[in-house]
């Protein structure tokens, strides 16, 4: 058996971590392994297609372009499609609250089957967030295959 005395002071200095996170501006393209994402605008609205908000929420909306220059189909959308909104304490918002259709002239992106190789998609990423959440960041996590299988990307 292993016994751990949590009351004992190990005498070690506290562990600290500094994250070197580079924030990108609007219209800057960020890419990995041939997948490029450009965020054109971030805005808020009370409606997004057929989505239904919970009380006290609004839609966080990102107008984006995604270029798939890989050899793999890449899912695109909120949550499992790699996109999310995040506040300054790390809370992630990844529920689109059923937002389908369009916001103004722009289609809401939800492509779980993927953007095919060589294709590009433009549209809106939507998520329900608590009203007044600021600052708010649109985040994108590329699919692990772009990192794990270097032979599968250009």
pLDDT (tens digit per residue) in 93-112: 988 887 888 888 889 888 87
What is the per-residue pLDDT across 32-83, written as a single tens digit (0 to 9) for each?
Answer: 888 899 999 999 999 888 888 999 999 999 999 999 998 888 888 887 778 8
> What pLDDT is attached to residue 120?
96
pLDDT tens-digit map of 14-30? 666 565 666 788 999 98
Cβ pair 86, 94 in contact under 8 A: no
Contact indicator for 109, 64 with CB cutoff of 8 Å: yes
* Per-residue model confidence (pLDDT) at position 145: 72
Who contacts 139 (Cβ-Cβ below 8 Å, separation ≥6)? 83, 84, 85, 86, 92
Predicted pLDDT at 71: 87
Distance CA 151, CA 149 (A): 5
CA distance 16 to 89: 16
pLDDT digits (tens, 9 = 90+) for 104-133: 888 988 887 889 999 999 999 999 999 999
User: Which two structure tokens, joined as six digits, stand for 2?
Assistant: 């292993």
């Amino acid at each position: 058996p292993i016994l751990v005395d949590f009351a004992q002071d190990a005498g070690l200095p506290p562990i600290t971590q500094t994250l070197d996170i580079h924030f990108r501006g609007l219209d800057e393209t960020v890419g990995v392994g041939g997948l490029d994402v450009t965020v054109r605008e971030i805005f808020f609205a009370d409606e997004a297609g057929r989505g239904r908000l919970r009380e006290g929420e609004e839609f966080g909306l990102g107008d984006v372009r995604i270029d798939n220059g890989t050899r793999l189909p890449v899912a695109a959308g909120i949550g499992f499609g790699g996109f999310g909104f995040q506040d300054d304490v790390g809370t992630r918002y990844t529920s689109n609250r059923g937002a389908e259709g369009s916001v103004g002239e722009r289609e809401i992106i939800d492509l779980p089957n993927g953007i095919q190789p060589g294709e590009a998609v433009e549209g809106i990423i939507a998520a329900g967030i608590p009203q007044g959440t600021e600052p708010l960041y649109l985040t994108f996590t590329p699919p692990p295959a772009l990192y794990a299988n270097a032979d599968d990307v250009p």
